[in-house]
């Protein structure tokens, strides 16, 4: 019926499965059930994201030619003409977090090429102190910053004095999971929340995370430069650490990750005739564009999250043809709430992107939203797919009064449960002839 009316249907393939799903129960060998998938820190969460999902055992999956994935794609092909691969970066490497961690900061990329102590010394002149830099760095002078008025109480209650101003956590509180479970049984007041978050933060105070597969080799901890452990280094040690850190996350693994993606993705994308689109947002390795281009996978373009690190906003006129462009995603604010959330960014966008003089309006008025949508419709992207909330934003009557009610998902909160509900019925929307004609004209005039 959809095809008879010129409509194609696009589906979604989530990156993860639940550890309590039928798939994990039937084929546990295909999944790493002893760890958790997530994402490193980004604009959505400074602590990283912990989805609680198992990661994939790709070596085991490859033994039957990735039959599980192929079956998954072929089943989707019964319903869809195109699909979006959620978090396609996970096919290059996935952010893997230990089961005893709560934050995403203690994760590593699986797989990646960790450092041996000898390589750290010989290549970067960094002498790793495994005892001090792979377990929480807790010094007396730090405690007030974490515990505030509760410092003396917490020092006695949770810490063991090792001398020379250094402490370690008591065994019953030495992992984030133990801390979270302990405080889950207590009253949720400001004091307990402060202490719980402080303990979780102390456990993040490491400079390296040991590789779970190659013991004695180490990954630099993501965002380590924001820790007290990093500040304790002298200037030369910081320079050496930064050089090693940047090499690890932005250069060292590129060829390795390219090979991993080209090993996994071609058999999966070739399993069906569906058009393949990818959500390639986040900490993007330099090898990703080459893989997307070689496999002719459509990338995702979001103006607020430009691929060029030197740009504040993406240039819609220069988007690649093989791309899907959008104004917002389910993981971020719509146009209107974003406009109100950061006045500096809004002002720059108003002057530099929209080309308007003077101070930006306080609110995203309908004409502003219309300009932004028209800009995306006129881009070279093969597909322009916009959230309904942003379509409605061009009409001052139809759109919600409060833009905060337009948010679909809070990615850093796995308990948010996608609470958004549409405030108009389909019948109401279908009856808005003036609005619908306006949309039709905008789409037609853009050549789409």
At 65-98, the pLDDT tens digits run 999 999 999 999 999 999 999 999 999 999 999 9
Neighbours of 29 (CB within 10 A): 10
Both 148 and 70 in a single domain?
A: no
For residues 246 and 277, membership in a common domain is answered with no
Distance CA 21, CA 252 (A): 35
Residues 124 and 212 grouped into a single domain:
yes
Inter-residue contact 292 to 257 (CB < 8 Å)? no
Judged against a pLDDT cut of 80, whether residue 43 lies above it is answered with no
CB atoms near residue 142 (< 10 Å): 21
Q: Band the pLDDT of 426: cuts 50, 70, 90.
A: very high
- Are 15 and 91 members of one domain? yes
When pLDDT is averaged across residues 150-154 and rounded to a whole number, the result is 97
**Which residues lie below 8 Å from residue 4, measured CB to CB, with a gap of 6+?**
none
Asked whether residue 102 is domain-assigned, the answer is no
Domain count, the chain: 2
DSSP string, 165-208: TEEEE-GGGSSHHHHHHHHHTS---HHHHHHHHHHHHHHT--SE
Distance of CA 3 to the CA centre of its chain: 34
CB-CB contact of 301 with 325 (8 Å): yes
Q: Do 92 and 145 fall into the same domain?
A: no
Residue 107 lies in a domain: no
Together in a domain, 281 and 311: yes
Q: What pTM does this model have?
A: 0.91
Alpha-carbon span 84 to 42, nearest angstrom: 21
Domain membership flag for residue 276: yes
- Domain span at residue 165 reads 113-252
Retrieve residue 16's tokens.
């993860």
pLDDT value at residue 269: 95
Q: Is the peptide bond before 111 cis (omega within 30 degrees of 0)?
A: yes
Residues 272 and 77 sit within 8 Å (Cβ to Cβ): yes
> Does residue 364 come out as left (phi exceeding 0), alpha (psi in the -120 to 50 range) or beta?
beta
Cα separation, 201 vs 226, whole angstroms: 11
How far is the C-alpha of 276 from the C-alpha of 267, rounded, in Å?
13
Task: Name the least confident of 89-98, 235-244, 415-424.
Answer: 415-424
Q: Do 303 and 394 have their domain in common?
A: yes
At 47, which helix (H) or strand (E)? none
Q: Which of 234, 252, 270 is the last residue of a domain?
A: 252
Rounded to whole angstroms, the Cα distance separating 56 from 67 reads 13
Is residue 400 assigned to a domain? yes
CA distance between the termini of the chain: 21
Let me know if residue 123 belongs to a domain. yes
CA–CA distance, 54 with 42 (Å, rounded to integer): 21
Region of 418 on the Ramachandran plot (φ > 0 left; ψ -120 to 50 alpha; else beta): left
pLDDT > 90? residue 297: yes
What CA–CA distance (Å, rounded) separates 296 from 424? 38
**Spatial separation of the C-alpha atoms in residues 206 and 201, rounded to whole Å:** 10
187 shares a domain with 119: yes
Percent of the chain at pLDDT exceeding 70: 100
């Amino acid at each position: 019926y959809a095809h008879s009316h010129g409509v194609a249907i696009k589906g979604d393939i989530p990156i993860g499965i639940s550890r309590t799903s039928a798939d994990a129960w039937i084929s546990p060998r295909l999944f790493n059930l002893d760890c958790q998938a997530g994402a490193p820190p980004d604009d959505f969460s400074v602590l990283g994201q912990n989805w609680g999902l198992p990661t994939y055992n790709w070596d085991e999956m490859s033994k039957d030619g990735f039959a599980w994935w192929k079956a998954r794609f072929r089943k989707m092909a019964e319903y869809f003409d195109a699909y979006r691969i959620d978090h396609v970066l996970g096919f290059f490497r996935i952010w893997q977090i230990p089961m005893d961690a709560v934050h995403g900061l203690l994760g590593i990329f699986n797989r990646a090429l960790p450092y041996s102590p000898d390589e750290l010394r010989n290549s970067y002149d960094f002498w790793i102190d495994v005892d001090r830099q792979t377990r929480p760095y807790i010094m007396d002078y730090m405690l007030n910053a974490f515990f505030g008025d509760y410092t003396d109480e917490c020092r006695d209650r949770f810490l063991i004095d090792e001398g020379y101003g250094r402490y370690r956590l008591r065994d019953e509180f030495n992992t984030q999971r133990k801390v979270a479970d302990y405080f889950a049984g207590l009253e949720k007041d400001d004091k307990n929340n402060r202490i719980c978050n402080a303990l979780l933060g102390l456990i993040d105070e490491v400079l390296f995370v040991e590789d779970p597969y190659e013991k004695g080799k180490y990954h630099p901890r993501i965002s380590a430069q924001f820790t007290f452990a990093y500040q304790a280094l002298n200037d030369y040690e910081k320079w050496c650490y930064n050089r090693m850190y940047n090499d690890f996350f932005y250069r060292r693994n590129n060829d390795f990750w390219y090979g991993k993606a080209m090993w996994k993705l071609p058999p999966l994308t070739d399993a069906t005739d569906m058009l393949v689109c990818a959500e390639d947002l986040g900490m993007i390795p330099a090898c990703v564009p080459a893989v997307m281009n070689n496999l002719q996978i459509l990338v995702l373009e979001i103006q607020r999250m430009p691929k060029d690190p030197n740009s504040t906003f993406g240039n819609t006129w220069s988007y690649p043809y093989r791309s899907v462009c959008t104004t917002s995603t389910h993981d971020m604010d719509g146009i209107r709430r974003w406009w109100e959330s950061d006045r500096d960014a809004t002002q720059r966008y108003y002057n530099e992107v929209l080309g308007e003089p003077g101070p930006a309006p306080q609110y995203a008025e309908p004409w502003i939203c219309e300009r932004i949508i028209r800009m995306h419709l006129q881009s070279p992207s093969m597909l322009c797919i916009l959230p309904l909330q942003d379509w409605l934003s061009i009409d001052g009557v139809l759109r919600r009064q409060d833009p905060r009610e337009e948010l679909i998902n809070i990615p850093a909160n796995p308990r948010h449960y996608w609470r958004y509900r549409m405030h108009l019925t389909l019948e109401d929307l279908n009856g808005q002839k003036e609005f619908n004609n306006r949309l039709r004209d905008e789409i037609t005039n853009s050549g789409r």
